[in-house]
Amino acid sequence: MKVAIVGIGLHPFGRTPGVSGRAQGAHAARAALADAGVEWSDVQFAFGGSHSAGDADSLVSDLGLTGAPFINVANGCGTGGSALIAARSAILSGEHDLGLVVGFDKHPPGAFNTDPAALGLGDWYGTTGLMLTTQFFAMKIQRYMHLHGITDDTLAAVAAKAFRNGALNPDAWRREPHSAQTIAASKMISHPLTQYMFCSPGEGAVALVVTRADHAHRYTETPIVIEAAEFRSRRFGSFEVFSPWLSPETAAGPTVEAARAAFDAAGVAPTDIDLAQIQDTESGAEIMHMAETGLCKDGEQEGLIRAGATEIGGMLPINTDGGCLANGEPIGASGLRQVYENVLQLRGDAGPRQVPGRPRAAFTHVYGAPGISACTVLTR
């Protein structure tokens, strides 16, 4: 048995003053239900999550008190992926046939600030100015550029593509294109990454209706099959955010294992993928994650990006909706946004940003603290 996505809904990303994160979640859930042509009362179960906008299960107050089990998921940036994995498993187990997955968030402006004690670190790590995710991303790409010959121009090119794609996406936050020159010249946040190379915490919501693939045609003519959805945490020796020390004995990060597991489970090779949404919390992350997911080899990004391979019309379109850079990062919703975009693209409904050639297989990847990754492979 397989599981299919038969309904998708989204609340536009960005800043929506006066609309709570929960309300955005309810909006997305209703849109997904309408897309599948079902009522909330038809839904047998739900998994959902939000990092800082309230408990997802409280959405029953808005959607209707039907008695259905609604389970909260809290996995940082992996929240949406984990909710989808759990919902898929609930259907694969035979326990349920029709479910809802929802993720939403609403973060205040500015970088995330994290309490060191929550991660088992001493107060000194925060007071002396080391407790910043931005530093981790900068140091990871700095070393990667040194080892694999990636240039500053390529960092700017990735962000320029994100804003170009965002301009084609009516639901994106950042819809104004910026030239690579403007991006490179914007304020230096954490060398070598400038302001326009980083995504910002934001707002938004996404919901999906999932069912048994053999029931999918009851709800839609274009079901999208979840061929694989895999989650991994880090192993000893991988380089992760908020690390006061690293081992000289290095290991691949969780992205490598989650991606490989997803491709293996799907029986699909990275070369079979027609488009991908991969975590681009900053432009260096997109570059490194291209190789960590197996979509290319270390160092090939420089040539691929320069040749336009990752553009919507290229041979491997990446972050076709503008990614985190153009959509911001509402933690609970961000991973599901990637799945939403791939469903739209596989249905052929992505409008001006539609990947040409009727794509058949699409990949998603999220990465987050404290060293987790979730990946999916979808096909039509």
Partner 1 sequence: MPDPTATLRLVDESLFVAGYEPLTLRGAECGRCGTTTFPSQDGCPRCGAQEMTDAALPRTGVLWSFTVQGFEPKPPYRGREPFTPYGVGYVDLGPVIVEARLTENDPARLHVGDTMELTLVPAFDDADGPVSTFAFAPAGDPA
Residues that bind partner 1 (CB under 8 A): 110-111, 113, 115-116, 122-124, 126-132, 134-135, 138-140, 142-143, 146, 187-193, 236-237, 243-249
Closest CA to 310 of 329, 295, 325, 297: 295
8 A C-beta contact, residue 171 and residue 13: yes
Q: How far is the CB of 124 from partner 1 (least distance, A)?
A: 4
- Rank residues 161 and 232 by Cβ distance to partner 1 and give the closer one: 232
Distance from C-alpha of 283 to C-alpha of 173, rounded to nearest angstrom: 17
CA angle 324, 327, 330 (to 5 degrees): 80
Residue with tokens 């968030």: 105
3-state secondary structure of 193: strand
- Rank residues 241 and 316 by Cβ distance to partner 1 and give the closer one: 241
Q: How far is the CB of 264 from partner 1 (least distance, A)?
A: 26
Q: How far is the CB of 284 from partner 1 (least distance, A)?
A: 11
β pairing state of 361-368 and 275-278: parallel
Q: Could you tell me the two tokens for 203?
A: 């707002």
- Rank residues 92 and 130 by Cβ distance to partner 1 and give the closer one: 130
- Rank residues 176 and 236 by Cβ distance to partner 1 and give the closer one: 236
- Rank residues 230 and 292 by Cβ distance to partner 1 and give the closer one: 292
Q: How far is the CB of 137 from partner 1 (least distance, A)?
A: 9
Q: How far is the CB of 271 from partner 1 (least distance, A)?
A: 31
User: First vs last Cα of the chain: how many Å apart?
Assistant: 15
At 42, give phi and psi (nearest 5°).
Answer: -80, -20
8 A C-beta contact, residue 48 and residue 103: yes
3-state secondary structure of 173: coil
Q: How far is the CB of 133 from partner 1 (least distance, A)?
A: 11
- Rank residues 284 and 332 by Cβ distance to partner 1 and give the closer one: 284
Q: Could you tell me the two tokens for 297?
A: 């080899």
